[in-house]
């Protein structure tokens, strides 16, 4: 019976999928499978032939393999590897090369014979590429093929660099990269303009010949393409769908990457459910959108025709279910994000007391506060709360070099205008210009350049916070050490990051903490900053009584929004408040027009924010709620 239930749950899935609680658990499981294969081949006196991938996805797999080598004696002496791809052109010692990646993450830490390592050559002359690709294929064939190929997946659905349009029988070859793939790689190269337009990649046909294929994917960013690859029709537009033809493939996912698969996203479509309140709310809101009706107009036929007959039978009549969910959604709406003084707060998202709260907004980058919750920020100040803002990082990697020169020229002119000597400053300015003329993509800036970039973002943040109404004493710059590497790749979180956050929290003793819950940001900074805040509060809960009365609210905005069913506080904004929020965002001039790291969204940050806030209000309107110009949404974090 359990097997039948599983088949029913996965009937939309066209290939095997294994889901783990998080990417760490999944990576360890994949590493153990690789280690088992290596040991099995070693025991038989045979070589293990592995196809390896690069990018963020396999890093934890390689970390676990290194641990198994150092702590459990896993030997790589009889391992031969073939990497999927390499940018073209690309020097092997470049920071962005996959040779560098593989050495840093695996090969330099294990006992593999470097003669057994094969990575496409990004230094070849154009006329030599075709012959190299044929030889690459021949080497794999002469070894009896790949025992195991591990894959990631790009948001275009590419595997390796087999972009949309790739043929299922394609071999190793030179390809042109999709624009989205280049945008996704832009941070590693210091801008999309520096990302090579081509790459050498194994073909889909080459991958298919492996005796075992494991495709891994982590995070909600990959969820839409995973659903297409697993449940969609085979198409050259999504090359990963060709893996549906293989009998030897398995997708290994974390829960976020699997979240849009039918069995997780709309489980009532494939099985009987335990209808707790969150699932019921999600299902009714989904049904409202599916049939394009307000909640209160949903009928029993709508329920029965859309996989929700069980809910109607168990908890009906459906009109009562509709009223219940309508009221739940309506009660998330409040114009009082700090609580309405003297009001009955039993049906409100925030407490009425204390009437005047201390609140602190943690902003990972110096503009996330106003982009993501600028309207709520301003309203909290207007309603008399003691609001603080903490800019967790300097954001100094996201400023254009020419802005540095412009500000230095201003500083020199000002010093001269008041009669001060500018010789030293002019010398620093000339050094900056010389450095910038020969600067390589993603090369670490000099300390002076990093400082100026940090000062630019600091003054913009101060201007935005002042516009929101904050006194200077309530504006805090943490410059958390994990970020201050000068590189796009940041350090791991350390004790100092947590200590600095604990000290600020102890100073303010907030009743409300607002922190970024937008983990889709391409930098990865938001989730790091979120975890620092949560760990600081978790430790303080052990000794500080005030923390038990501190509520944590997560916000989103620049990169994504919470699903409507998850929103616990929705703060409506009037047209005038939308304009005030826009003006606060405009204070961040270095991020306007064309930010250094825009991600894959071409819109300016203020446009993204307004569009998302408008969409949130429209979603509420479609459910049958009052119509507002815009809404900012929050979800409460519970310890």
Helix or strand holding residue 33 (H, E): helix 23-43
3-state secondary structure (DSSP) of residue 278: helix
pLDDT tens digits along 133-165: 999 999 999 999 999 999 999 988 999 999 999
Instruction: Give the three-class secondary structure for 175.
Output: strand
Tell me, what's the pLDDT at 600?
Answer: 62
Cβ atoms of 351 and 339 closer than 8 Å: yes
What pLDDT sits at residue 15? Answer: 96
Predicted confidence band of residue 4 (pLDDT cuts 50, 70, 90): very low
pLDDT in tens, 62-83: 999 999 999 999 999 999 999 9
Residue 560 has pLDDT above 90, yes or no: no
Strands 551-555 and 630-637 come out as antiparallel
**Chain segment 301-332, per-residue pLDDT in tens:** 999 999 999 999 999 999 999 999 999 999 99
> Would you state the pLDDT for residue 524?
80
Q: In 205-314, which ranges are E strands? A: 213-217, 249-254
186 vs 477: which has the higher pLDDT: 477
Question: What is the C-alpha to C-alpha distance for residues 251 and 226, in angstroms, rounded to an integer?
Answer: 9
Cα–Cα distance between 320 and 83 in angstroms, integer? 58
Mean pLDDT of 536-545: 96
Note if 163 is an active site residue. yes
Give residue-wise pLDDT tens across range 150-209: 999 998 899 999 999 999 999 999 999 988 888 888 878 877 888 999 999 999 999 999
Mean confidence (pLDDT) of the chain: 94
- Which is catalytic among the residues 86, 137, 163, 577? 163
User: CA nearest 380: which of 365, 353, 361?
Assistant: 361
> Do residues 284 and 624 lie in contact, with contact meaning Cβ atoms separated by under 8 Å?
no
Distance CA 64, CA 109 (A): 11
Distance CA 335, CA 368 (A): 21
In angstroms, the CA 430 to CA 417 distance is 20
The Cα 144–Cα 341 span in angstroms is: 74
Classify the C-alpha dihedral 468-471-472-474 as positive or negative.
Answer: negative
Distance CA 103, CA 100 (A): 5
Q: What are the distances in angstroms from CA 333 to CA 321, 462, 576, 579? A: 20, 30, 18, 20
Average the pLDDT over each of 27-36, 217-226, 579-588, 600-609 and give the range with the smallest value.
600-609
Asked if 221 and 520 touch (Cβ cutoff 8 Å), the reply is: yes
Taking the C-alpha atoms of residue 514 and residue 516, their distance in angstroms, rounded to an integer, is: 7
pLDDT digits (tens, 9 = 90+) for 499-520: 999 999 999 999 999 999 987 6
Predicted local confidence at residue 181, as pLDDT: 85
Cα dist from 450 to 95, 364, 394, 431, 444, whole Å? 20, 18, 9, 13, 9
């Amino acid at each position: 019976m359990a097997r039948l239930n599983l088949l029913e749950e996965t009937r939309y899935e066209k290939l095997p999928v294994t889901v783990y609680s998080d990417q760490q658990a999944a990576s360890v499981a994949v590493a153990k499978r690789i280690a088992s294969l290596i040991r099995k081949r070693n025991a038989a006196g045979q070589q293990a032939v592995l196809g390896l991938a690069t990018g963020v996805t396999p890093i934890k797999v390689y970390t676990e393999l290194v641990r198994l080598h150092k702590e459990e004696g896993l030997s790589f002496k009889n391992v031969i590897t073939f990497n999927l791809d390499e940018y073209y052109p690309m020097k092997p010692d470049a920071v962005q090369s996959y040779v560098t990646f593989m050495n840093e993450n695996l090969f330099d830490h294990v006992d593999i014979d470097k003669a057994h390592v094969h990575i496409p050559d990004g230094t070849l002359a154009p006329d030599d590429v075709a012959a190299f690709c044929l030889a690459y294929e021949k080497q794999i064939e002469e070894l009896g093929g790949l025992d195991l190929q591990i894959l990631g997946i790009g948001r275009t659905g590419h595997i390796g660099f087999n972009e949309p349009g790739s043929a299922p029988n394609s071999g190793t070859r030179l390809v042109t990269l999709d624009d989205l793939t280049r945008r996704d790689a832009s941070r590693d190269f210091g801008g999309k303009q520096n990302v090579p337009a081509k790459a050498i990649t194994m073909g889909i046909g080459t991958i298919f010949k492996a005796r075992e294929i494991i495709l891994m994917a982590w995070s909600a960013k990959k969820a839409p393409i995973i659903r297409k690859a697993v449940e969609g029709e085979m198409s050259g537009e999504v090359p990963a769908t060709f893996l549906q033809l293989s009998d030897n493939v398995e997708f290994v996912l974390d829960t976020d990457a699997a979240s849009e698969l039918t069995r997780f996203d709309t489980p009532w479509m494939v099985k009987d459910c335990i209808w707790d309140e969150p699932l019921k709310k999600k299902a009714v809101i989904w049904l409202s959108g599916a049939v394009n009706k307000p909640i209160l107009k949903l009928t029993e036929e709508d329920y029965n025709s859309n996989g929700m007959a069980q809910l109607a039978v168990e908890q009906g009549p459906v009109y009562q279910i509709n009223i219940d969910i309508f009221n739940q959604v309506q009660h998330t709406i409040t114009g009082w994000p700090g609580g309405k003084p003297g009001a009955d707060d039993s049906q409100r998202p925030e407490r009425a007391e204390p009437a005047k709260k201390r609140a602190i907004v943690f902003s990972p980058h110096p503009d996330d506060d106003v982009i993501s919750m600028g309207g709520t920020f301003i309203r909290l100040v207007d309603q008399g709360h003691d609001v603080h803002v903490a800019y967790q990082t300097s954001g100094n990697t996201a400023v254009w070099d020419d802005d540095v020169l412009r500000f230095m020229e201003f500083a020199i002119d000002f010093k001269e205008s008041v009669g001060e000597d500018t010789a030293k400053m002019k010398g620093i300015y000339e050094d900056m210009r010389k450095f910038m003329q020969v600067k390589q993509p993603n090369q670490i800036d000099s300390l002076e350049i990093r400082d100026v970039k940090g000062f630019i973002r600091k003054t913009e943040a101060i201007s935005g916070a002042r516009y929101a109404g904050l006194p200077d004493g309530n504006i805090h710059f943490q410059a958390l050490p994990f970020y201050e590497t000068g590189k796009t790749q940041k350090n791991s979180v350390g004790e100092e990051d947590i200590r600095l956050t604990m000290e600020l929290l102890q100073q303010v003793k907030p009743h409300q903490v607002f922190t970024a819950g937008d983990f889709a940001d391409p930098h990865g900074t938001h989730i790091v900053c979120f975890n620092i805040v949560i760990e600081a509060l978790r430790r303080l809960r052990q000794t500080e009584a005030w923390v038990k009365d501190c509520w944590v609210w997560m916000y989103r905005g620049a990169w994504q929004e919470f699903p409507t069913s998850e929103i616990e506080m929705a703060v409506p904004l009037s047209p005038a408040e939308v304009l005030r929020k826009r003006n606060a965002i405009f204070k961040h001039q270095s991020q306007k027009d064309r930010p250094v790291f825009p991600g894959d969204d071409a819109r300016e940050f203020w446009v993204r924010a307004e569009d998302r806030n408008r969409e949130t209000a429209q979603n509420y309107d479609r459910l049958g709620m009052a119509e507002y110009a815009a809404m900012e949404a929050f979800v409460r974090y519970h310890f």
